[in-house]
Copies of this chain bind each other. A is one copy, B any other.
Amino acid sequence: MRRILRGTPGKIVQRYASSISRSLRNTTPTAYKILRNAVARVEQIGSLGYKLHLNERERAANEVIMDLKTAEIQRGLLDPAKFSPGHHIFTMLTKIKESPLFNILKSMPKGGVLHAHDTALCSTEFLIELTYRKNLWICITDEGCKAIGFRFSVEEPTMKAMEGCTWEPMESFRERRGEENVRQYLMQRFSMYPFSNFRSNNQAWIHFMGIFILLDGLLLYAPVWGDYYYNALKEFHEDGVQYLELRSLLPQLYCLNGEKLKISDTVALYKSEVKRFVSENPDFIGSKLIYAPLRGVEPKIVDDYVKTCVALNKKFPDFLVGFDLVGQEELGRPLIDFVEQLLKMPEHINFYFHAGETNWFGSSIDENLFDAILMGTKRIGHGYAITKHPFAMNLCKYLDIAIEVCPVSNQVLQLGQDYRSHPAALLIAENVPIVISSDDPSFWRATPLSHDFYFAFLGIGPWSADLRFLKSLAINSIKYSAMQDKEKPAAFKKWQNKWDVWVEEVAKLNNK
């Protein structure tokens, strides 16, 4: 709005406002329509991507994309019941796979994912594959009905945290229950399906956190941890993603003999896997880490977090570059409780705080937005509540802080139902910096990024949002990444190379 109120468009507003004098009824219909179209245009000029230049091939590709988008919207206008972004992703997943627009977005080089969590990256199919690994045990409760934990071990595991459940070797469990039954059971347990509607977001979060807990024993096994991350890079890469900025709790990994590794080993494992992946896929830009431990702790624990972060950053200065706190904001503590500890973080380690992932207004939860901004966050995770805080929204624009918008996550975790009501529409209209991310795609069986792009493009943005909008989102994901300025030109180049090839492929579909 700032932009509109200054500069040229600002003058236009003022001129109109004074000349309208509350009615244009003495103008001709023709004159009226000229003015009206100018006013509609003024607003578009300020929106995300509007000023971006498209070359000839991009314009040809744009026509293909906009024809497909327009067809989906027009069908939706006739019958909103058939418009995918008006519904829950769980009910639309199959239908979306058939959408030609979705498939073009799938192949589009979308840049990087800047908001995703360590153990919620890979497809359910990959998780099920992991359960075939040797020495895996499963812990069963509720008279054999519910799996609550996994553990790799030669002998039967003995873990206090898992009391009250019965350990069984995975092979015998699978044999006893039938392979297909177990597969279907795990398909459900490893995701939020089929629950598209909870009584509250708290209940959705309980279910959500339960998946993380279940997966820990499976994924924190050192050999699996590396493979999981490598596979995530592979799946993201195949989905048109060239860079991944991961928030990780940095858990201590365990070995088959029960021995626990150091946290720095967890980081080292990440680093060696990404190195291996890039060497095998030279078009991949890379990956960086944001240390993101749990927020639901006493302030003194945050002192330890800060020390750990500083030490790890010293050891991995180009790789572990940022800090955040994770867990449900509403149940954890607000950032302001940790100010004393957080202000001790050295300037060169950036914050990437979750803030405002809530529907509450005027609570300590949405007011995390103020603390995130004032403590100098480089981006804001979710920021769902920020459109209720125009001042905070303005500060983001002034200070060039990007909002990490995660459309599917917000829907599954019950902040909103219809993508057309997502508050990021205003961020797009106002051109407050945003990136699109997927948060925990594993748990909603979504693609690593394409579904979020599809909903953002078709459901959240305006009908007129076109290839300039999509290209801006890809560019933003590199621009607002934690990469250093000196790293960015090479990153942009890797993206541009793939972009040009993709544009050419899409443009070829243009028969006009």
Number of interface residues of A (CB under 8 A): 86
Do B5 and A376 have beta carbons less than 8 Å apart? no
Residues of B contacting A276 in the complex (Cβ-Cβ under 8 angstroms)? none
* A window 338-365: CB within 8 A of B: 339-340, 343-347, 359-363
* A window 50-82: CB within 8 A of B: 73, 77, 79-81
Do B463 and A361 have beta carbons less than 8 Å apart? yes
* A window 295-333: CB within 8 A of B: 330
Copies of this chain, complex-wide, total 2
Do A1 and B390 have beta carbons less than 8 Å apart? yes
A39: CB under 8 A from chain B? yes
Most buried by B among A23, A202, A392, A416: A23
Do B80 and A374 have beta carbons less than 8 Å apart? no
Contacts A23-B375, A200-B79, A347-B25 given: A420-B32 contact, CB under 8 Å?
Answer: no
Chain A interface mostly: helix
A465: CB under 8 A from chain B? yes
Residues of B contacting A26 in the complex (Cβ-Cβ under 8 angstroms)? 347
Minimal beta-carbon separation of A352 from chain B (angstroms) = 13
A156: CB under 8 A from chain B? no
Question: Chain B: which residue is nearest A83 at the CB level?
Answer: B200
Question: Which listed residue (B1, B426, B463) contacts A5, Cβ 8 A?
Answer: B1
Bound Cα distance from A391 to B80, whole angstroms: 27
Residues of B contacting A465 in the complex (Cβ-Cβ under 8 angstroms)? 362
Residues of B contacting A464 in the complex (Cβ-Cβ under 8 angstroms)? 362
Do B202 and A79 have beta carbons less than 8 Å apart? yes
Question: Which listed residue (B73, B80, B200, B374) contacts A36, Cβ 8 A?
Answer: B374
Residues of B contacting A202 in the complex (Cβ-Cβ under 8 angstroms)? 79-81
Do B395 and A40 have beta carbons less than 8 Å apart? no
Do B20 and A391 have beta carbons less than 8 Å apart? no
Bound Cα distance from A363 to B420, whole angstroms: 12
Do B17 and A395 have beta carbons less than 8 Å apart? yes
Residues of B contacting A371 in the complex (Cβ-Cβ under 8 angstroms)? 36
Residues of B contacting A392 in the complex (Cβ-Cβ under 8 angstroms)? 43
Residues of B contacting A35 in the complex (Cβ-Cβ under 8 angstroms)? 374
Do B43 and A390 have beta carbons less than 8 Å apart? yes
Contacts A200-B79, A374-B39 given: A390-B4 contact, CB under 8 Å?
Answer: yes
Could you list 5 examples of A-B contacts with CB < 8 Å?
Answer: A4-B394, A13-B391, A36-B336, A39-B374, A40-B370
